[in-house]
Amino acid sequence: MDPIRASSKYEYYKLCRKLLLLTGLWPYETLRRSLLHLGFIILYDISFFIVQTAHYFICETIQCIFKTLPMNMMAVILLVKLFTYYFNRQKIKGLLEHLHSDWNTLCYEEEFIIMKKYAETGRFYALYYAISIYLATVLFAFSSITPRIMDVVSPLNESRLIIMPCPAYYFVDETEYYYYIFVHMIIGAFVCITGIIAHDCNFFAFVEHVCGLFAIVGFRLEHLLYRQNITEKSLIDSSDDVYVRNIKFSIQAHRNALHFVDLLENTFYISFAAQMLIVTIGMSISLIQLSSELQGDIIELIRYFFFIVAQLGHLFIYSYEGQKLINHSLETSEKLYNGLWYTIPVKSQRLLLFAMRKNMEPSIVTAGKIYIFCLESFTSVLQCSLSYFTVLSSFNES
């Protein structure tokens, strides 16, 4: 059963659901429709990969190869993201069902407010991310048609140099079939980018959800000695055993949050390892292209600038979400210390040790169990990319 369909409290996830449906990655969709949508994207991506690979055979310099590689890597990243969702359909189902059950365990009005806040944040990130990526794609692609527009607005004695949206070889005369090639590339760019956005936006929604779970656990631990009507601050009498039930309830909620993180990590860590390797190399090569165009064509310079900004934005938001997860998991202990735990019997305080022990290490999302997504790692990747850029630049000059 689709847990997001026709439910008002899951309206915050409907954008992510529509993106997965559009790309054939929604795990509750019929296999036939899923393969139809997914196959269309994969065929378009393969067609891009073929014409981009063919461009290597007409390259006469290493600079030409470096110009083709970043876009070629984007085609590979798309396949990695698509196959991650498709071959982990059961795990994605588990995450969605976990999300559904987590909403059903909320008891207090304040907890619904907390969960809605994080769900709204996830929806905002998804919408902002999708708009930004589509806008960057439009600017990058349509900047290539500027010389054609200038030939009409301000014609010269000879036609201006043709700029393709991305380096590729179509085995035909590019001047004669320019607009056909341009249409194929533009449609393909939006089709392929939609697959990338669907993967990323749903990951952001999952991370925001588990951050909301940790926030709710912290809220419950802070209010161990309050009755259900928290807004009236009705304290439980020291002889009342209700706080014991509250402690057990909080510990169970914390275990649910940790289980969600483990499921999230097991679903994506292999995919992220491949993506991080490709992104690091691709960013280094893009920096080489940007440096080579500093004294060259201004249009090419602007195009590569937008491409690098998009790569940095993609990596930064992953690192930011990973850092947010780490912070929320560690803040659970602080919320526990802020509560009135010291007023309950020592026997009951021992129950809180379970939660405290689990908070000794932060919850993380990794790439290959090696790279941890956080802001510190983000700076490390930038330094690594710059190092590769220096090495490749010296190789390119020689």
- Residue 317 and residue 205 in contact, taking contact as beta carbons nearer than 8 Å: no
Number of other CB atoms surrounding residue 256 within 10 Å: 17
Bridge partners for 372 per DSSP: 366
Tokens of 103: 């909403």
Number of other CB atoms surrounding residue 157 within 10 Å: 4
> Which residue in this structure is represented by tokens 């995919």?
271
Rounded average pLDDT over 5-32: 84
Could you read off the pLDDT of 67-120 as tens digits, one per residue?
Answer: 888 888 888 999 999 999 999 999 999 999 999 888 888 877 888 899 999 999
Rounded average pLDDT over 237-264: 77
Rounded average pLDDT over 20-38: 92
> Which residue in this structure is represented by tokens 């039930």?
245
Please give the C-alpha separations between residue 221 and each of 259, 325, 345, in angstroms, as whole numbers: 19, 18, 16
- Say yes or no to pLDDT of 231 above 50: no
Torsion-angle region of 6 (φ positive above 0: left; ψ -120 to 50: alpha; else: beta): left
- Per-residue confidence (pLDDT) for residue 225, from 0 to 100: 64
Rounded average pLDDT over 279-288: 80
Between 120 and 9, the more confident residue is 120
133-142, 195-204, 257-266, 301-310: least confidently modelled range: 301-310
- Residue 375 and residue 323 in contact, taking contact as beta carbons nearer than 8 Å: yes
Please give the C-alpha separations between residue 201 and each of 12, 37, 329, 398, in angstroms, as whole numbers: 12, 18, 21, 42
Cα 384–Cα 385–Cα 387 angle in degrees, nearest 5: 65
Rounded average pLDDT over 215-223: 83
CA distance 211 to 205: 10
CA distance 27 to 93: 6
Between 343 and 37, the more confident residue is 37
CA neighbor of 333 nearest in space, from 357, 352, 361, 359? 359
For residue 201, name the pLDDT band (cuts at 50, 70, 90).
very high
CA distance 97 to 209: 12
Q: Which of 35-44, 107-116, 141-150 has the highest mean pLDDT?
A: 35-44
CA distance 208 to 212: 6
- Per-residue confidence (pLDDT) for residue 341, from 0 to 100: 65
- Per-residue confidence (pLDDT) for residue 392, from 0 to 100: 62
- Per-residue confidence (pLDDT) for residue 355, from 0 to 100: 66
Rounded average pLDDT over 269-288: 86
- Say yes or no to pLDDT of 236 above 60: no
Bridge partners for 371 per DSSP: 367
- Per-residue confidence (pLDDT) for residue 255, from 0 to 100: 86
CA distance 258 to 357: 12
- Per-residue confidence (pLDDT) for residue 340, from 0 to 100: 65
Q: How many CA atoms lie within 13 A of 137 on its CB side?
A: 20
Burial (CB count within 10 angstroms: exposed 0-12, middle 13-18, buried 19+), residue 292:
middle
- Say yes or no to pLDDT of 287 above 80: no
Rounded average pLDDT over 293-322: 79
CA distance 195 to 147: 30
Could you read off the pLDDT of 345-379 as tens digits, one per residue?
Answer: 676 667 677 667 767 788 999 999 989 999 998 88
- Per-residue confidence (pLDDT) for residue 1, from 0 to 100: 58
SS3 177: coil
> Which residue in this structure is represented by tokens 């992953």?
318
- Residue 217 and residue 154 in contact, taking contact as beta carbons nearer than 8 Å: no
State the chain's mean pLDDT as an integer. 82
In this prediction, what percent of the chain has a pLDDT beyond 70? 80
- Per-residue confidence (pLDDT) for residue 6, from 0 to 100: 47
For residue 200, name the pLDDT band (cuts at 50, 70, 90).
very high
SS3 107: coil
Helix (H) or strand (E) holding 101: helix 89-104
Q: Concatenated DSSP letters for 10-58?
A: GGGGHHHHHHHHHHT--TTS-HHHHHHHHHHHHHHHHHHHHHHHHHHTT
| 178-222 helix and 31-56 helix, angle to the nearest 10 degrees | 120
Between 287 and 273, the more confident residue is 273
Q: Which of 100-104, 357-361, 383-387, 394-398 has the highest mean pLDDT?
A: 100-104
